[in-house]
Chain A
Amino acid sequence: MTDVIRTTVSLTVNGRTIEAQPGELLIEAAERAGSYVPRFCYHPRMEPVGNCRMCLVEVEGPRGATLQPACFLQVNEGMVVTTDSEKVKKAQDGVLEFLLANHPLDCPVCDKGGECPLQDQTLAHGSGETRFIEEKRHFAKPIEIGDLVLLDRERCIQCSRCTRFASEVAGEAQIDFAGRGDLIEVAPSPVEPFDSVFSGNTVQICPVGALTAKPYRFTARPWDLEQVESTCTTCAVGCRIAVQSSGNRLTRVLGIDSEPVNHGWLCDKGRFTLDAVDGNELMTDPLDARSRITDPLIRRDGELVPVSWGEALDRAATILRDGAAVTNGVGAIGGAALTNEAAFAWERFVRGVLGSENIDAQYGDGLDAVLVQALPKATIDEAAAACTVVTITGDLREELPILYLRLRESAVKKHNSIVEFAFSKSSLRSVAKVSLPVRPGEAHEVARALAGSAPDPNLALSSEELNEARRLVGETGEGVVFVVGRPNIGESAVVIETAIRTLTERFPQAKFLVALRRANVMGALDMGLAPGLAPGRGYSGVFGRDTLAQLEAMRTGAQKAVLLLGGCLLGNVVNSIHAASALAAADVVVVTGHGGATLAYADVVLPAAIQHERAGTVTNLEGRVTNVAAKLVAPGSAWNDLAIASELAAQFGQHLGLDTVEQASATIESMTGYPSSSVLRSSTNDGVMVGRHETLPARRSLDPMANPGIRSVDSVGLGARSGATDVAATPAITSTTAATWSQVTVGQGITIAPLDAYSLRILASRRLYDRGIAMQGSPALAALVPQVSLRVARADLNRLAASDGDVVVLVGSKTSLQLSVVADDELPSGVAELPFNLLDGGGGDPVRAILEAGSDVTVIRLETR
C-alpha cells in the first residue's frame, strides 16, 4: 500500500523466487506469482485487518516457520513463504470449518447462493460433513439496517468489510460491530439508520449473504443472469459497472474496480435506479416523468397521440424546416444524456443540416462551454494525488458521489489538503483543512482574495483562514487542483466563471477538474453541442445562442422552432415559468425516452432508446472516454438516437453517414482524432483519456474474493482482460490558445442587489436524491427523497421573528412559496439555502420558478405568516 516505489524485493513463495514491491502485501504478491491465498476479510481497497484468519500461510522466521496472515504481512527481502503445506492447509480448513459451524445451511434460498465465496471455498476445500452437532447460533431473521439494506445476522462471518467500508471509505460509521465474542453482530444505531448514499457497496462486498439489497432481494439467481460491462451515466463521474439482466429485464448493477475512476464503489442512486429504465413501460402518461415513451407522438387537437414513425418524422422535419427558413429561427437544446456518437450525429444534423449555430447541451445550469474546454484539465487521479485540492462546488457527496469518495480518501489516507469554498455545510467539511465561507454572489471575490488581493471587508473571511488557504495553494498553483462546478444555480454562472478566470491567471500551474454533474455533459461538449465549439473538443469561433438565449428568443418570437434532445428541460432550467412560456410560443420537437412536464409543449415526440439500451461511448468529467453497453432492447418502437438523426436528415434529403454506432465512432475518430472507435474496440475497460498519450494497463483480473459478486463478469465473457494494450495514441486535439481563451465571456461587473433586513440571497443547492427521472422511476429510491425545507442562519431567523420549524413565505420577484424553515448554524447570515428539484409542486419544482435567470443572484424576502 505504499506509493513510493523505490526498488523491488525478492522473496520465495513455495520455492519459487518472485519479485515484489517493498511494502506490498504478501497476499497480493503471492497472487501475482500464481499462488492464490484464500481470504474473506481482506479487500484490496481497504486497510487490512487480518481478522478472518483464512489467509494464514507459513513464513520462516527466527523461531522457525510460523503461521501468519498473508493479508497483513508486508513482503520483505529474502522472505520465505509457503502457501501450500500440510500445516497451512490444516489451518485454513480449520478456519473454514469454524466459519461454517454457526453458518446456516440456507444456500438454496440465499441471494448469494451461486456467487458466494464461502460456498465456493466450502465446495472446493470443505470436508463435506460437519462435526458440529450443537445447535447453531440464532438471531431474529433479517433486520432492516437501512432504507435499502437488510442484514441476516446468522449468515454474517464477522469479516468487518461492511463496517470498515462505512467508517473507512464512506466516512460515516452508521454501522459498527456490537457485542463481543461469538455474539458479535453488525448493528446500526437504534436512532440513526444506515442511510448512507453508499450503502449498496456493503452489500456488494459482503462475502456471504448477510447483507442483501432490498431492491434486488429474491429477484434473480446468479446463474440466470447475463451481464455486460458498461459505464454508469447517473452522473458525470462515469463509474464502471456490470449491468446484469435476466431476460429483457435489468436486475442488478454492480461496481467494477476501475483504478482511475471508482475503485469498485458506486453510489446508491447509480446502483439502484434501474427501474427507471425498464420498470415503467406500463405507465403511459407522457407528462409523467416516470413513463417511458414507446411510440412516436404528435399533437393533434391539443392531445399527444401515437402515430407511425413516418408521420412523426415528416411532421418533425416540417417544423424544423419552417424554423430554419427564418434567419436564426431554429435551434437545439439538450443532449447531455446522449452517447458521444449520438451527440455527434445531432451536432451534424443541427449545424450541417439545419444550418443553425443555436445549440447547447447545458440548461443554463452549467458553466461557459468555451471556458470549460479551455481550462488546463486534471484527472480524478491527479486531483486525488494533488497536494492541495480547492473545491468550488456544491456538496460533492450530493452531486458527484464517487468523486467525493476519492477526494475524501486522499485527504484521510494521504493527508492531502482540501481547501473548501464553503457555501453551506458540506460533507467534505470534516476533512477539509480550510473552509472559506462564501455567500451567493461572492465566489469571485473570495477567489480574488485567495489570489492575493486584499479581501473585501464585507466577506466573511477570517485572515487566518485566508492565509492558510493561500499558503496551501502556494505561489504558482503547482500541484494544486481546483474542482469547479455550479454550487448555486440561483446565482449567475458568471460569478463562478469570473472566479475561475481569476484563478487561472493567478495560478498558471494549477489544473482544473470540472465538476459538472449531468451524465455525459463533457462528451456532449466535446462533440460540439455548445455555442463556439466544434466536434472533437474543437472551437468553431462562431457563437450561436445558448439555452437561455434560445428560450428568450422563442419568447420574443425570434426563434420559431426548437429541437429538444431529451425531455427534461423544464425539470432543470432556471426560471421555469419563463421557459414554459418560451416553449409555448415555439414549435417543439422532442427526442426522448422518458415523459415529463416539458412534453406538455411538444408538437412531436420521437421515442428514443436510453441508457442500457444503446451502445456507444461517453466521456466523464475528467475527459475519460469509456464504453456504454446495450443490455436491453428498447421498448415499443423506440429507436436509437443515431437512427432518428439519420432518418430526420434523410427528410431533408441529406445523408449523415452515421447510421450505426460503428460508423459514427469511426467517423468521429477519423475526422477529429477523438477517441471513440478505439474505445469501443479496446480491451482496456478503463477507457482512454481525451488528448493524452497514455497506455492504460489492462485491469488486473477481478478477484472473486476481493469483489464478490463481480466474478461472473469474467465467466460470462466480457472479453479478454489480460495483457497490456497499447491504445492507439490520440493526437492532441486542440490546445488552449490565446485566441480561444479570449473568447470566454466573463462578466466584469457582477451586480448584487443590496440586502435589507428582510431579504436573503438564495443558495439553490442540489441533493443526490432529488425528483429527477431516475429517482422518480425507482420506487425504492423515490421514497427516500427528503422533505424540503429552507435553511437559514439562526441569527437571521431571530431577526425575522421566526423559529426553527415555522412555515414561512418566500417572496420572489414573480412568485412566492410557502415552506418550513430550519435554523442552520453552519450557514453564513444573509443566505437562504433551498434545495433544488426536491419539491413536488404539481407541475414540477416550484423552486425553479422562484430562481431568476436574469440577475446575478436571486434575492428573496422572507415573511412570517
Chain B
Amino acid sequence: MLTLAFDTATAVAASALVDDGEVLGERFSRAVTLLEDIDALLRQAGAHPSDLDRLAVGIGPGSFTGTRIGLAVARGLALARDLPAAGVSTLAALAAGADRAAPVIDARRGEVFVAGPFAMKPDALPFEPGTTCVGDGALLYRDLLEASGLVVPPDEDERHRVRARFHALLAREFGPADEIQPLYVRAPDAEQMKA
C-alpha cells in the first residue's frame, strides 16, 4: 500500500512516501515547492503517480494559507488519480513523533495552537509543570514556556519538526479528498469583527 503523506500547515512543508509502514523517503521544503518534493520522492522510489494508493494530508491547525495549499494539492492529486485521502491533525502528527510530548504550534497574533485544538496565549498553557513541549510555537515562546516550568528540547531537536511519516502512520479513515476540511480553529477576520 503506497501512501503519499504531506503537511504544509507550518513554515516547513513536510512530505513522505511510505510503503506499508516502510518510509521510502522523507523531504522538507516550503509549501509552494511541495510538488517538487513529491516529484523527487516518487522518482527516488522509482514510482509513477499512478502507483500511489492513497494520500494522508495534514489539516492543521497552523497557517491558514499553508494548510490550504496542502489540501488543494490533495484535491488535485485525488481528482487526477482517483485516490482516497485521509486528513491528519498536524498537532497529532507532532505528538506522535515526540513520544506524546505536548505539541505547540505558532498561531501568530501572540497565540499558539495546542491539542483540543485551541488557540491560547503561550503564558497560560494548561500543562503540568515538567511537560515537554515541541513544535515551532514551543521554540518561538521558549522563554515563556520555560518560565512556567515547561520543558522545551534544544532548537535542533528533530521532535520540533512536523514529519509526514507520522501522518501516514496515523491516517485512519480514507475517503474523498474534497471532504477533508482544515482545522482553522479561528474564524476569518471579518467574522471576528462581527462577533
Task: Check if A and B associate.
Answer: no
Q: A residues engaging B (CB < 8 A)?
A: none
